């Protein structure tokens, strides 16, 4: 006999509340009551925490009342214990349970033998109702059973009916079964209790496979990034290239420092050489030349030009060297105060494209003098000239714009950076250091997000001025409309 299952139908009033299936398992106890630990939980004042249990004692199920209240009844009679055979209707207070006992002992094979089929010898060995061994032998092959030292040989059966033999507490069943039935039984089948777990596992596996297939793949590295990485590796591991770069930077810095004080003189000579011979400007004497040279070397020319520009935007520009400060390609220049026909104590007039000055004077701290012949009367102060250099070794550029194009653009606008430095150098002669500026160049060439990446100068006025100037720049458009990242170091040094 197989291990039977119990089917429970729970009703309360006129409604069916629940259906359960109970299989013999560990402990073979199924608790019914109001406790949270109960397998079937019932509510009501007449239901105790542990009211009744279903207990399996092979080969039958039993219903036992453990409440002691005599409220477990079959029909109108209270029960203490009742064996379940077939169907059993039980009342527990206002709850009604219908119990069905069903033995899972379906016949594995058909006993009818087809014509011409000798069949096979099937053997089933049981102990206390449980199957402990099965064998399939030839139709005429005997079954040899061994228990301890005792050996028993059982002859093969001659029909499909079970032949039962009892040996030492073991029940041996023998019969002939069709060959086709054995082949069909060997096919894989899934127990109904395992269908749901198998289905759940299959769904989870399918979802994992779809996730792996549909997971977005990483984008391939752009060719530009690979090329840039290659250039950086060559720069790091090529010692000759590094040494050559260092020599070029040192040579460039040395030449800029030597030529720093003579830039304005060279520019003045170039302008004089380019002037037409029929110019109506009067020739200057040696004393006038000496006075102008002294004024330029004192570093006051740039200061006067910058102050004058802020005080009088409608003034007339008198260029000593370069163009107006605060503009691209900035140099140093003078500005006349007041009207163009008035000088610093003298008179001025215009003939063609040339201004003739009768005298130069200043207002405020600088004092003033009647004319150049009497010598300059500008008051000297803590004013100096500065130079700006670029450290090419520390320059970093990432993107679709050539390094030389960026260097050439910054070189043309280096006067703006120098202006920021010299404006503060007039109040602090010991001001110097290196400022690393980081910014990006957009698809249109405009500068975005300028920042001070590192600074040894530690002067907020100079650094803020530099950021404002850099933010106004517009470079050539990068190749492919990509964004360019730039880190550019500026080295500041006083020349006085």
pLDDT digits (tens, 9 = 90+) for 438-496: 999 998 999 999 999 889 988 899 999 999 999 999 999 988 888 899 998 998 888 76
> What stretches of 350-493 show up as alpha helix (H) in DSSP?
403-412, 414-425, 460-471
What is the bridge-based pairing of β-strands 163-167 and 170-177? antiparallel
Residues 99-116: what's their mean pLDDT?
Answer: 61
For residues 316 and 285, which has the higher predicted lDDT (pLDDT)? 285
Tell me, what's the pLDDT at 217? Answer: 72
Closest residue by Cα to residue 492 from 457, 452, 450: 457
For residues 141 and 303, which has the higher predicted lDDT (pLDDT)? 141
For residues 306 and 45, which has the higher predicted lDDT (pLDDT)? 45
Determine the Cα–Cα distance for residues 1 and 133; give it in Å rounded to an integer: 15
Looking up tokens 């030349």 gives 289
Q: Is the pLDDT of residue 262 over 90?
A: no
Residues 428-432: what's their mean pLDDT?
Answer: 85
Find out whether 399 and 484 touch, Cβ atoms under 8 Å.
Answer: yes
Tell me, what's the pLDDT at 21? Answer: 86
Tell me, what's the pLDDT at 52? Answer: 93
**What does the buried/exposed string (b/e) look like for 438-454 if buried means 16 or more CB atoms within 10 Å of the residue's CB?**
bbbbbeeeebeebebee
* Tens of pLDDT, residues 389-418: 887 778 888 888 888 999 999 999 989 998
Q: Is the pLDDT of residue 162 over 70?
A: yes
Closest residue by Cα to residue 279 from 340, 341, 354: 354
Tell me, what's the pLDDT at 470? Answer: 93
* Beta bridge pairs of residue 379: none
* Tens of pLDDT, residues 327-381: 454 444 444 333 444 344 444 444 555 444 545 444 444 444 444 444 444 444 4
For residues 272 and 135, which has the higher predicted lDDT (pLDDT)? 135
Tell me, what's the pLDDT at 381? Answer: 44
Determine the Cα–Cα distance for residues 151 and 173; give it in Å rounded to an integer: 17
* Tens of pLDDT, residues 484-496: 999 989 988 887 6
Tell me, what's the pLDDT at 331? Answer: 43
Determine the Cα–Cα distance for residues 162 and 107; give it in Å rounded to an integer: 12
Q: What percent of the chain stands above pLDDT 70?
A: 62
**Confidence tier at 146 by pLDDT (50, 70, 90):** confident
Q: Is the pLDDT of residue 118 over 90?
A: no
Is 332 buried (19+), middle (13-18) or exposed (0-12) by CB count in 10 A? buried
* Tens of pLDDT, residues 61-76: 899 999 888 889 998 8
* Beta bridge pairs of residue 143: 154
Average pLDDT, the chain: 74
**Confidence tier at 267 by pLDDT (50, 70, 90):** very low
Find out whether 124 and 173 touch, Cβ atoms under 8 Å.
Answer: yes
Residues 307-317: what's their mean pLDDT?
Answer: 47
Find out whether 264 and 296 touch, Cβ atoms under 8 Å.
Answer: yes
Give, in order, the Cα–Cα distances in Å from 271 to each of 90, 266, 302, 329: 122, 9, 18, 16
**Confidence tier at 27 by pLDDT (50, 70, 90):** low
Close Cβ partners of 452 (under 8 Å, ≥ 6 residues apart): 435, 436, 437, 438, 463, 466, 467
* Tens of pLDDT, residues 182-233: 655 555 455 556 677 888 999 999 999 999 998 887 665 555 555 556 666 6
- Structural domains in the chain plus CATH codes: 4-103 (2.60.200.20), 120-185 (2.60.320), 282-381 (no CATH), 386-494 (3.30.1150)
């Amino acid at each position: 006999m197989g291990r039977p299952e119990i089917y429970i139908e729970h009703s309360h009033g006129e409604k069916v509340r629940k259906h359960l299936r109970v299989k013999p398992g560990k402990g073979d106890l199924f608790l019914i009551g109001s406790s949270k630990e109960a397998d079937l939980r019932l509510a009501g004042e007449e239901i105790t925490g542990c009211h009744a249990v279903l207990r399996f004692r092979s080969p039958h199920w039993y219903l036992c009342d453990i409440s002691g209240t005599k409220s477990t009844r079959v029909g109108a009679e209270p029960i203490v214990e009742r064996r379940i055979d077939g169907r059993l209707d039980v009342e527990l207070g206002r709850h009604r349970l219908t119990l069905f006992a069903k033995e899972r002992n379906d016949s594995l094979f058909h006993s009818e033998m087809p014509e011409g089929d000798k069949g096979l010898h099937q053997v089933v060995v049981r102990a206390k109702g449980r199957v402990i061994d099965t064998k399939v032998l030839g139709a005429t092959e005997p079954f040899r059973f061994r228990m301890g030292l005792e050996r028993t040989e059982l002859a093969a059966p001659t029909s499909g009916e079970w032949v039962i033999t009892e040996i030492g507490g073991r029940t041996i069943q023998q019969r002939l079964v069709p060959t086709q039935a054995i082949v069909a039984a060997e096919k894989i089948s899934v127990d109904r209790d395992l269908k749901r777990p198998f289905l759940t596992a299959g769904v989870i596996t399918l979802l994992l496979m779809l996730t792996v297939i549909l997971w977005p793949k990483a984008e391939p590295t752009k060719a530009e990034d690979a090329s840039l990485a290659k250039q950086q590796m060559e720069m790091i591991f090529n010692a000759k290239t590094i040494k050559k770069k260092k020599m070029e930077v040192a040579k460039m810095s040395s030449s800029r420092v030597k030529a720093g004080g003579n830039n304005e003189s060279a520019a003045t000579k170039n302008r004089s050489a380019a002037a037409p011979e029929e110019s109506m400007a009067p020739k200057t004497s040696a004393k006038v030349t000496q006075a102008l040279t002294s004024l330029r070397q004192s570093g006051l020319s740039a200061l006067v030009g910058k102050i004058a520009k802020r005080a009088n935007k409608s003034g007339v520009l008198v260029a000593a060297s370069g163009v107006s400060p605060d503009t691209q390609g900035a140099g140093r220049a003078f500005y006349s105060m007041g009207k163009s026909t008035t000088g610093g104590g003298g008179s001025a007039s215009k003939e063609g494209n040339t201004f003739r000055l009768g005298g130069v004077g200043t207002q405020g701290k600088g004092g003033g003098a009647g004319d150049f012949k009497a010598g300059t009367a500008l008051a000297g102060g803590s004013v100096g000239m500065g130079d700006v250099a670029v450290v090419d070794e520390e320059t970093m550029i990432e993107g679709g714009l050539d390094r030389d194009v960026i260097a050439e653009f910054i070189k043309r606008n280096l006067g703006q950076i120098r202006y920021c430095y010299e404006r503060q150098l007039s109040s602090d002669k010991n001001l110097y250091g290196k400022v690393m500026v980081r910014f990006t160049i957009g698809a249109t060439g405009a500068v975005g997000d300028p920042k001070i990446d590192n600074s040894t100068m530690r002067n907020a006025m100079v650094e803020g001025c530099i950021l404002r100037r850099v933010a106004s720049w517009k470079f050539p458009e990068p190749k492919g409309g990509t964004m360019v990242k730039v880190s550019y170091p500026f080295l500041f040094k006083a020349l006085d």
